[in-house]
């Protein structure tokens, strides 16, 4: 194998997928310290990799915007080809990701055997069920004879992000002595969202102890958070849509615990060392997307679970028992473990 001077990691999925690829970034850099390491991401989540000391550059591929279609694909393929990569590690399992690395003439291409483009890889790694996504991603180094130890996800908020969070909290009337609990009531897939009414009832229980509630989410989830704030009678800090990814990540470090659905905030919290209570409905932690660090999982043992790797848009049985059956008290029982610290 020729010396590896330039490495490309291809992960053009959602924010959670990107965060769970950050251990692969570190492990690759530690394995090839003299190599330049690049990461291909979609624009909407690329900001999460700012300040990462192991990356030479983040390349954005706007596959649903300016780069969509065959012309955009060929333009990106050409750009990557001109950069002269020796190795591509491809945790993303789409055919398009495999085609990009192949068209860019990257000689060594390593991906999973369950990828839609598995036949385009020079080396294939078995996609293992029942292990965490972090471990799966790290296994992409195994064909190179590298077996890195388990590494946590990581994000790197800078001083600018930290300062903006302090300003945000001051503007929201939060003082240093306030105990903060975070709620992330959103999720891309509707069936993965625990009902807002249940979150509101949980919030009322939490606030009895004097804790303040901070609501997290993207701009798309701002409406859900505002609805939740109204349901709780106000007096809640709505951070959704008002902070960047790295600012939100730093705000997570101020919490005693985050309560979230099975979505990206789980992995943001893991990256920042914040305990989480994760509510699983149609999906299950056995898919590999549970909390990596400290946390608790609340779920119902039902014969119909899991019904989808990502969560369908509607319940196939029309009952949605996996979420409606999770009571507020059982979630609160997990949250309270972290309130007395």
- Write out pLDDT tens, residues 127-185: 999 999 999 999 999 999 999 999 999 999 999 999 999 999 999 999 888 899 999 99
Among the candidates 92, 114, 144, a domain finishes at: 144
**pLDDT given for residue 299 in this prediction:** 97
Whether 150 is covered by a domain: the verdict is no
> What is the CATH number for 71?
3.40.50.2000
Per-10-residue mean pLDDT, the chain, length 341: 90 97 98 97 97 98 92 96 98 97 97 97 96 97 96 97 97 90 95 96 94 95 95 92 97 98 97 98 94 95 90 90 96 95 74
The domain total for the chain is 2
**pLDDT given for residue 1 in this prediction:** 59
Whether 1 is covered by a domain: the verdict is no
Residues 198 and 285 in one domain: yes
**pLDDT given for residue 54 in this prediction:** 98
Residues 129 and 177 in one domain: no
pTM: predicted TM-score of the whole model, two decimal places: 0.95
**pLDDT given for residue 308 in this prediction:** 84
**pLDDT given for residue 284 in this prediction:** 94
Residues 193 and 244 in one domain: yes
Q: Please give the biggest Cα pair distance in the chain.
A: 63
**pLDDT given for residue 312 in this prediction:** 87
**pLDDT given for residue 309 in this prediction:** 81
Residue 276 belongs to what domain range? 159-339
Residues 185 and 84 in one domain: no
Residues 178 and 139 in one domain: no
């Amino acid at each position: 194998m020729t010396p590896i001077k330039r490495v490309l990691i291809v992960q053009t999925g959602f924010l959670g997928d990107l965060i769970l690829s950050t251990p692969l970034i570190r492990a690759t850099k530690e394995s090839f310290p003299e190599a330049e390491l690049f990461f291909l991401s979609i624009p909407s989540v690329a900001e999460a990799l700012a300040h990462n000391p192991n990356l030479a550059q983040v390349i954005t591929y706007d596959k649903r915007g300016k780069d969509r279609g065959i012309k955009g694909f060929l333009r990106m393929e050409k750009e990557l080809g001109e950069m002269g990569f020796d190795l591509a590690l491809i945790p993303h399992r789409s055919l398009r990701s495999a085609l990009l690395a192949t068209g860019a003439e990257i000689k060594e291409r390593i991906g999973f055997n369950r990828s839609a483009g598995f036949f385009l890889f020079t080396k294939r790694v078995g996609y293992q069920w029942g292990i965490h996504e972090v471990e799966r991603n790290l296994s992409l180094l195994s064909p190179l004879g590298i077996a890195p130890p388990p590494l946590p996800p990581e994000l790197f908020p800078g001083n600018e992000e930290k300062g903006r969070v302090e300003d945000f909290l001051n503007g929201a009337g939060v003082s240093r002595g306030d105990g903060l609990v975070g709620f992330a009531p959103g999720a891309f897939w509707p069936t993965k969202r625990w009902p807002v009414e249940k979150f509101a009832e949980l919030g009322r229980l939490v606030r009895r102890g004097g804790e303040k509630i901070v609501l997290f989410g993207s701009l798309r989830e701002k409406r859900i958070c505002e609805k939740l704030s109204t349901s709780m009678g106000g007096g809640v800090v709505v951070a959704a849509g008002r902070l960047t990814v790295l600012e939100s990540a730093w705000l997570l470090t101020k919490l005693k615990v985050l309560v979230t659905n099975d979505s990206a905030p789980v992995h943001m919290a893991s990256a920042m060392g914040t305990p989480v209570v994760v509510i699983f409905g149609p999906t299950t932690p056995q898919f590999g997307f549970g909390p990596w660090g400290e946390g608790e999982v609340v779920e119902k043992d039902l014969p119909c679970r899991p019904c989808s790797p990502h969560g369908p848009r509607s319940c196939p049985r029309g009952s949605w028992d996996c979420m409606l059956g999770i009571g507020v008290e059982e979630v609160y029982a997990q949250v309270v473990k972290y309130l007395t610290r």
